[in-house]
């Protein structure tokens, strides 16, 4: 057990690419927590997807022992948090478990929108914040300008910001000293009854559910009988450990300490993040305030390409759900796609991550239907229905009006791109609510419909600003608008998986873009295929895919039989990646690519 004044708990707030994971790697490495030979980049990002995309999805923790200049050895607990807006919820709850944050800002880029959002989470959690300017070794670095930027945008004193280069290791000792000298030690009473916060939990194939806790008061030991106050469930602690970042068995955890335990818990859903853990026999008086569970905001259908894989998909979704309580699913049947699941996500990145994981970790081929937000359909009889799937749109004669979710979007961008951003937001039915400048960077706030953002807003934003814009949003509420269901007909058959809710004024443009895309995405058949977009029975856009006219091998003799046969077998396997709609086969990529918008 560690003395309170020798503990520092902190997180790192940074925009993607500003060097958060590299800094974490350096802190771990320079303190000898992980031997050099075991070091790899983005050490705390354990998922392939995290490493590939250079993002953090799940919060991760490491306990570092640091011998400070004052001659004392401190325990530093770093919680590495996700940077992306979809996982803001995960960030805010992780921040409750620590007392301070390092604010890492790229010395040439300045503060970005997501940084801002996460700094506010840190301030909300009452954190002490140490600004760190990274990449100061780069020629483009402008530390003084960025310091001003921090002061202007966040209102944080940046005069004694730590100057570092995480890449070269420059300034890393200063960061460690700043953590010890400038961040507060945790508080707590070792003799009080146990009170610990459930920070996170995840499923490990070997260990079952692993629960991460932050002890507030009291002491927890291996073998203790503990109780979770909200769920009321009691367990015996099988294993108590700290993360370095691998699990290392630990005898006990006292106030201010962060660690993990296992306790024969079956699934992640049995644990509630933010719950208070105490001893069964000697409970604490008042529980911690707890958190609201995260609500999915984007829904889409996931269907197996090969209908025979439905059971495998069901198993995979159940297993993923073990580890991700923020992702919801229920069975769905589509006329075109057969059996699948309607799934809810925290945002588009979350959707992509889950889909990638299902495909890679469970070796499934999936069709993803158009992402949809949750609409409020107000019926003439005064009732309200939540619409997660355009296919469930009730008969219009019974509908009084429809409301859609709106967001407040915060975008930060160098002023030369401001015009493009304003146009993009305008095109997506946005209403500007604020525009301010800090140096040559603009911060613009828009009130936008979420459904205009779920498709490819973020991709468009990045492309029109060459990656210089950053974006964050929060849902503000619901508002009525003129929304209609647009259907897509291929060879006169409606393809339910491509139907979507759109604003009436945008329907023609959307419909046109969809049918043009589909014309390129659907391979030619032996007959011509009309592709139409329609609102009700009214066709608003139409294209015709011409018929294939000649496709025959000129020479085929004895030596060609094997090769041609193998080619046909390969095509047969390829056909499994197609979906049959009446007489037409649509490749699975078409479902995803048809939804991407240009401009």
Partner 1 sequence: MPFGLYVHWPFCESKCPYCDFNSHVAERIDPERWIAAYRKEIERVANLTRDQVLSTIFFGGGTPSLMRPDVVAAVIDAARAAWRSSNTLEITMEANPGSVEVGRFHGYRDAGVNRVSLGIQSLDDQHLRLLGRKHTRSDALRAIEVAQSVFTRVNLDLMYGRQHQTVQDWRNELSFALGLGAGHMSLYQLTIEDGTVFGRRHAAGQLHGLPDEDLSVDFFHATLELCDAAGLPAYEVSNHATHDEQCRHNLIYWRAGMYAAIGPGAHGRLGSGADRRATEAIRDPAAWLTAVENRGTGDLAITPISAAEQATEALLMGLRLTAGIPLTELRALGIDTETWPSRRRLTESGHLTESAETLRTTLQGRLLLNAVLSELTSDLKVAQT
For the window 238-267, what string marks contact with partner 1 as x by the rule CB under 8 A?
Answer: ------------------------------
According to the binding rule CB under 8 A, does residue 565 interact with partner 1?
A: yes
| Alpha-carbon distances of 409 from 390, 448, 516, 529, rounded to whole Å | 25, 7, 30, 41
According to the binding rule CB under 8 A, does residue 423 interact with partner 1?
A: no
Q: Which of residues 476-535 bind partner 1 (CB under 8 A)?
A: 525-527
62 Cβ contact list (under 8 Å, min separation 6): 24, 28, 33, 43, 44, 77, 78, 80, 243, 244, 245
Structure tokens, 457: 């807003």
| Residue placing its CB nearer to partner 1 in the complex, 159 or 571 | 571
CB atoms within 10 A of CB 287: 17
Query: Which of residues 569, 582, 589, 596 is near partner 1 by CB under 8 A?
Result: 569
CB of 308 vs partner 1, minimal distance in Å: 15
| Residue placing its CB nearer to partner 1 in the complex, 292 or 550 | 550
| Residue placing its CB nearer to partner 1 in the complex, 168 or 546 | 546
Query: Which of residues 159, 386, 549, 599 is near partner 1 by CB under 8 A?
Result: 549
| Residue placing its CB nearer to partner 1 in the complex, 537 or 571 | 571
| Alpha-carbon distances of 235 from 142, 223, 271, 281, 390, rounded to whole Å | 54, 9, 11, 12, 44
* 41 burial level (CB within 10 Å; 0-12, 13-18, 19+): exposed
According to the binding rule CB under 8 A, does residue 554 interact with partner 1?
A: yes
According to the binding rule CB under 8 A, does residue 562 interact with partner 1?
A: yes
End-to-end CA, the chain = 58
Query: Which of residues 37, 537, 555, 598 is near partner 1 by CB under 8 A?
Result: 555
| Residue placing its CB nearer to partner 1 in the complex, 182 or 525 | 525
The Cα 134–Cα 112 span in angstroms is 14
According to the binding rule CB under 8 A, does residue 307 interact with partner 1?
A: no
| Alpha-carbon distances of 64 from 78, 122, 460, rounded to whole Å | 8, 21, 40
Query: Which of residues 35, 140, 557, 598 is near partner 1 by CB under 8 A?
Result: 557
CB of 581 vs partner 1, minimal distance in Å: 14
- Residue 365 and residue 359 in contact, taking contact as beta carbons nearer than 8 Å: yes
Angle at 471 between CA 465 and CA 474, to 5 degrees: 155
- Residue 581 and residue 338 in contact, taking contact as beta carbons nearer than 8 Å: no
CB of 469 vs partner 1, minimal distance in Å: 36
Span interacting with partner 1, options 98-106, 205-213, 274-282, 542-550, rule CB under 8 A: 542-550
> Which residues are registered as beta bridge partners of 449?
406
| Residue placing its CB nearer to partner 1 in the complex, 37 or 550 | 550
| Residue placing its CB nearer to partner 1 in the complex, 378 or 525 | 525
Q: What is the CA radius of gyration of the chain?
A: 27
According to the binding rule CB under 8 A, does residue 561 interact with partner 1?
A: yes
Which positions touch partner 1 (CB under 8 A)? 525-527, 548-559, 561-562, 564-565, 568-569, 571-572, 575, 583
């Amino acid at each position: 057990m560690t003395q309170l004044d020798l503990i520092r708990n902190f997180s790192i707030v940074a925009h993607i690419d500003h060097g958060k994971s590299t800094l974490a790697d350096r802190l771990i490495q320079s303190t000898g927590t992980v031997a050099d030979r075991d070091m790899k980049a983005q050490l705390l990002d354990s998922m392939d997807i995290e490493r590939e995309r250079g993002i953090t999805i799940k919060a991760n923790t490491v306990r570092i022992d640091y011998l400070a200049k004052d001659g004392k050895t401190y325990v530093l607990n770093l919680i590495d948090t996700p940077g992306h807006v979809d996982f803001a919820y995960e960030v805010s709850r992780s921040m409750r478990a620590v007392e301070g944050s390092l604010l890492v800002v790229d010395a040439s880029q300045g503060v970005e929108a997501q940084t801002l959002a996460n700094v506010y989470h840190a301030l909300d959690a009452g954190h002490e914040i140490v600004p760190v300017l990274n990449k100061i070794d780069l020629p483009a670095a402008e530390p003084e300008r960025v310091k001003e930027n921090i002061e202007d945008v966040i209102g944080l004193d940046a005069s004694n910001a730590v100057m570092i280069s995480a890449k070269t290791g420059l300034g890393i000792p200063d960061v460690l000293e700043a953590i010890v000298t400038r961040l507060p030690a945790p508080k707590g009473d070792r003799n009080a009854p146990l009170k610990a916060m459930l920070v996170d939990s995840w499923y490990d194939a070997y260990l079952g559910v692993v629960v991460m806790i932050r002890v507030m008061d009291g002491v927890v030991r291996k073998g203790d009988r503990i109780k979770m106050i909200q769920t009321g469930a009691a367990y015996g602690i099988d294993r108590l450990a700290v993360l370095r970042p691998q699990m290392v068995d630990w005898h006990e955890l006292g106030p201010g300490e962060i660690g993990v335990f296992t306790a024969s818990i079956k699934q992640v859903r049995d644990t509630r993040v933010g719950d208070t853990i105490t001893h069964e026999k000697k409970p604490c008086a008042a529980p911690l305030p707890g958190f609201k569970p995260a609500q999915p905001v984007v829904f889409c259908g996931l269907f197996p390409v090969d209908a025979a894989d439905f059971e495998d998909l069901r198993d995979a979704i159940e297993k993923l759900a073990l580890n991700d309580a923020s992702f919801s699913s229920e069975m769905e049947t589509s006329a075109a796609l057969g059996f699948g699941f309607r799934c809810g996500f925290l945002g588009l990145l979350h959707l992509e991550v889950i889909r990638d994981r299902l495909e890679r970790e469970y070796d499934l081929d999936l069709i993803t239907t158009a992402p949809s937000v949750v609409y409020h359909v107000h019926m003439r009889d005064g009732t309200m229905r939540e619409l997660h799937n355009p296919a469930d749109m009730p008969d219009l004669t019974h509908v009084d009006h429809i409301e859609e979710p709106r967001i407040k979007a915060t975008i930060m961008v160098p002023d030369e791109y401001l015009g493009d951003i304003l146009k993009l937001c305008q095109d997506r039915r946005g209403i500007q609510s604020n525009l301010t400048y800090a140096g040559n960077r603009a911060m613009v706030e828009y009130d936008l419909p979420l459904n205009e953002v779920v498709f490819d807003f973020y991709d468009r934003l990045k492309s029109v600003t060459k990656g210089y814009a950053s974006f964050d949003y929060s849902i503000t509420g619901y508002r009525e608008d003129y929304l209609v269901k647009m259907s897509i007909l291929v060879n006169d058959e409606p393809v339910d998986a491509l139907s979507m809710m759109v604003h009436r004024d945008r329907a023609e443009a959307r419909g046109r873009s969809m049918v043009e895309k589909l014309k390129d995405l659907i391979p030619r058949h032996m007959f011509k295929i009309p592709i139409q977009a329609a609102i009700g029975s009214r066709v608003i856009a139409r294209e015709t895919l011409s018929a294939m006219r000649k496709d025959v091998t000129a020479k085929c003799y004895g030596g060609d039989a094997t090769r041609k046969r193998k080619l046909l077998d390969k095509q047969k396997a390829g056909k499994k990646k197609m979906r049959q709609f009446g007489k037409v086969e649509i490749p699975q990529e078409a479902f995803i690519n048809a939804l991407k918008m240009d401009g």
